[in-house]
Each structure stands twice: as structure tokens, then as C-alpha cells.
Amino acid sequence: MEIIDGKGLANTIKEEIAKEVLEIKQNKGKIPHLAAVLIGDDPASASYVRNKVRSCDQCGFQSTLIRKDETTTEAALLDIIQGLNEDPDIDGFIVQLPLPKHINEEKVTLAIDPKKDVDGFHPMNFGRMALGLPSYLPATPFGIVQMLDRYGIETSGKHCVVVGRSNIVGTPMSILLSRKAKVGNCTVTLTHSRTNDLSAETKRADILIAAIGIPNFISSDMVKEGVVIIDVGINRVDAPEHKRGYKLVGDVDYDAVAPLASHITPVPGGVGPMTVTSLLLNTLKASRKEVYG
Ligand code: GUN
């Protein structure tokens, strides 16, 4: 069994990005500039955004954090988005989700200029991804593709089972792995809450991607021996013995499943760090105008 070290791989990729930024600086080019908008004070979202800003610093990117309180109106957020769309210095930006309930996430996503949508959430980028055209790939699926690639895990002809059909992970993941591409050519089964006999489906997986947000959901009797396990879950569970009072666990019962797997991603330190790397790569693409010219 090999542990897929997402944290280490993300650091390697960040060093590669930092070298590219250094070259841009030496050639007097424009330094990539990412902006992040955070509304409210959800602790998990605040921590993710801090991490994104810190990663920008590590790579030599410019970053701007726009932080507003929970009571910010939808109209005010749309104004901020319009400002970022029109600001020539901002190459790409993200609006951290989830948003407070009084703000319509769909409206917000549609307001972002697809050219600056480095999260890859706008329907234009989602559609381009589905058609195999140049696009910004959503961070988590893109991070997983990079992991499979760099660890030399064969995907062609393999049966991949995705558990969870969210717009930002499960559904785009199923599309990416079924595409005709270096990391792709899988036969994909996309499972969800209405799937009959989920265990019969997951047991057929050569590659199992767990993205349902339920702690330790995938048990050892749901997988076959030799499976590649990609655990997208980042669940906070109570742990009074920890200083913070909680610990992070994935959607996979790691201790029980790891002995059966050929490869497995840990939580934390697996998929999570790779998502930030994807965002940086998308921002680099945006500053080079590689997607839309
Ligand atoms: N919330 C959880 N994941 C993400 C992400 O990749 N991007 C944004 N903007 N919000 C998120």
C-alpha cells in the first residue's frame, strides 16, 4: 500500500510555480494576481481562504483578500464582483462558498467573468471542460487528476466509481475521468444518495473517489483489494482529546480500508493541499491568457 502524499506533491508543484513566477519577474512580465472574496466568518471557509492567500505568497503571486461580514447584501457582493471583473490588474478571483443563505450562489457564479473564473464554476468553463476545450478546471477534480498523473496511476480502461454528485467535485470528476485524455479513458459510475445497493457499485471500483461529506462512510466491506482510494472528505468530528476540540477525518474509514488499497490519500494531507495548487495553476493560466486568448 502506498500513501499518496498530497501535501508533499502540492509543495513540489508550488516550487515549480514559484520558479515560473521568478522567470516572469526576470522578464519584467506581469506577476499573477489572485483575489479572494470571503463573506461571513465560517471558520472552515476562513481557514481555506487564509491557506489560499498564504500559498500565493509562497509562489510569489500577488493576492488580495476582500473580507465582508455576514450581513453583506447580494447587491453589494455583485458590485464587488463587477469591480473585480473590470480591474485589469486582477487575473483571476474566487468567491468562497458557501455563502450566507440570503445570497443566491447561482447568481453570484454567473456574475463572474468566465475569463477570471479560476474556480472553474461558471457554466462557460464547466461546458468547455465537458467538451474537452481549454478551460479552468475546478480545483478538487484538477488536483485529483494531477495526483493520479504524478503517481503514475493508470486510468485507461479502469473502472472508476465516484461517490457523490456535487457540482464542484463528483459531477466534474466523473466527466474528467471519462474524457479521452492522458488521465482519463475510465469507465465511470457516478453514485449518489439514491443509488441502489451502493456497496455493489463501490466494490467494482479500481479507482474509488469518495466525495459525500459523511465521516468514515466508506468501510472495508465496500471495496475490493488493490483499489486506489481518493478521499475528498474533510469532516470535522468532535475530539475532546485534541487541543482544538475536533479532528479532521475523511469520507473513508482510513484504518480499516488502507490495508486493502494499492494507493490511498490521507486526511488531512491528501486531496486538500492539491486543491490550492490547482487554483494557483489556474491563476497562472489566467495571467498568461492561455484559456481565452
Ligand atoms: N468551498 C469549498 N470548496 C471551494 C472551492 O474550491 N472554491 C470556492 N470558491 N469555495 C469553495
Residue 268 in domain: yes
State the CB neighbour count (10 A cutoff) for residue 11. 15
Q: Work out which ligand 1 atom sits closest to the CA atom of 36.
A: 9
Residue 92: which domain range? 27-113
Distance CA 234, CA 213 (A): 7
Please tell me the distance between residue 256's alpha carbon and the centre of ligand 1 in angstroms.
29
Q: How far is the CA of 96 from the centre of ligand 1 (A)?
A: 5
**27 confidence band (pLDDT: 50, 70, 90):** very high
User: Pocket of ligand 1, candidates 38, 81, 168: which has the most ligand atoms within 8 Å of its Cβ, to mutate?
Assistant: 168
Residues 235, 147 share a domain: yes
List all residues whose CB is within 6 A of at least one atom of ligand 1. 94-97, 119, 139, 168, 275
Residues 147 and 260 in one domain: yes
CA–CA gap between residue 141 and residue 63 (Å, rounded): 23
Q: Are residues 49 and 161 in the same domain?
A: no
Could you tell me if 182 and 231 lie in one domain? yes
Is 132 part of any domain?
Answer: no
* Residue 100, C-beta contacts closer than 8 angstroms, at least 6 positions apart: 39, 40, 70, 72
Same domain, 258 and 157: yes
Question: 242 and 207 in one domain?
Answer: yes
pLDDT band at 293 (very low <50, low <70, confident <90, very high): confident
Look over the chain and give the mean of its residue pLDDT values, rounded to a whole number: 97
Region class of 95: left (phi > 0), else alpha (psi between -120 and 50), else beta: beta
Residues 99 and 148 in one domain: no
Region 163-171 average pLDDT = 97
d(CA 214, CA 273): 20
Regarding whether 256 and 161 lie in a shared domain, the answer is yes
Pairwise CA distance, residues 174 & 88, whole Å: 34
CATH code of the domain covering residue 61? 3.40.50.10860
Per-residue pLDDT, averaged over 151-159, amounts to: 98
Question: Rounded distance, CA 140 to CA 80, Å?
Answer: 25
Model confidence at 160, pLDDT cuts 50, 70, 90, reads: very high
Query: pLDDT per residue over 37-72, tens digit each?
Result: 999 999 999 999 999 999 999 999 999 999 999 999
Domain count, the chain: 2
Any idea what the CATH number is for the domain that residue 244 is in? 3.40.50.720
| Contact assessment for residue 37 and residue 94, using Cβ atoms and an 8 Å cutoff | yes
